[in-house]
Amino acid sequence: MKKPLRLVVLLSGDGSIFEAIVEAIEAQRLNAEILMVMSDNPNAYGLTRARLHNLNTHTINVKEYSDTNAFQRALKEALVTLKPDFIVLSGFMRILAADIIQAFPKRILNIHPSLLPQYPGLHTHERVLAAGDKKHGTTVHFVDEGLDSGPIIAQRELTILPEDTAESLQQRVKELEKVLYPEVLQRLADRL
């Protein structure tokens, strides 16, 4: 059997997509190991989820740093020390500094709730509905120095229903994300 993909997960919130990755590993649908789950938010429920799966966690609390640059330096130092194959952003609500991206070229992944290049940034579900789009979805992409502009790895789409709200779309897209992210990671594991 191939060696498992070595991952570090960065999150800021509840970690539901991250948990789908963990469940895929536990079910042996994803040949990976999570070296560390890191957060900028000490109260992120994703850290609790990680501990429930007996995973290592680390908080780099952004509020404990004098400025963004100091926070980014601490984050980079922690990531470089861990030497992951890939860094997985899963609801990490910080833009990474250019030197972090340059230290891990095409090794930082993000999942974004839209069919990029449409609707980068926040409030994608509201923006899709306001535009009257018929399709919506999610994208896994490599992180570059732009906002949600890195090379696209994979996308999944769904049809917007007449009764959809921003909240219902968010839930439906999240279900796609829970399937797509582990699948993309397994494709990357197959290549190593």
CATH of 5-191, picked from 3.40.50.300, 3.30.750.80, 3.40.50.970, 3.40.50.170, is 3.40.50.170
The active-site residue out of 58, 112, 125, 136 is 112
pLDDT band at 2 (very low <50, low <70, confident <90, very high): confident
Tell me the domain boundaries of the chain.
Answer: 5-191
Q: What is the tens place of the pLDDT at every residue in 98-111?
A: 999 999 999 999 99
Residue 1 predicted with pLDDT over 80: no
Q: What is the 3-state secondary structure (H, E, C) of the chain?
A: CCCCEEEEEEECCCCHHHHHHHHHHHCCCCCEEEEEEEECCCCCHHHHHHHHCCCCEEECCHHHCCCHHHHHHHHHHHHHHHCCCEEEECCCCCCCCHHHHHHCCCCEEEEECCCCCCCCCCCHHHHHHHHCCCEEEEEEEECCCCCCCCCEEEEEEEECCCCCCHHHHHHHHHHHHHHHHHHHHHHHHHHC
Residue 64 predicted with pLDDT over 90: yes
pLDDT band at 157 (very low <50, low <70, confident <90, very high): very high
Residue 9 predicted with pLDDT over 70: yes
Percent of the chain scored above 70 by pLDDT?
A: 99
- Report pLDDT for 192: 78
User: Over the chain, what is the mean pLDDT?
Assistant: 97
Mean pLDDT of 76-84: 97
Q: Is 53 a catalytic residue?
A: no
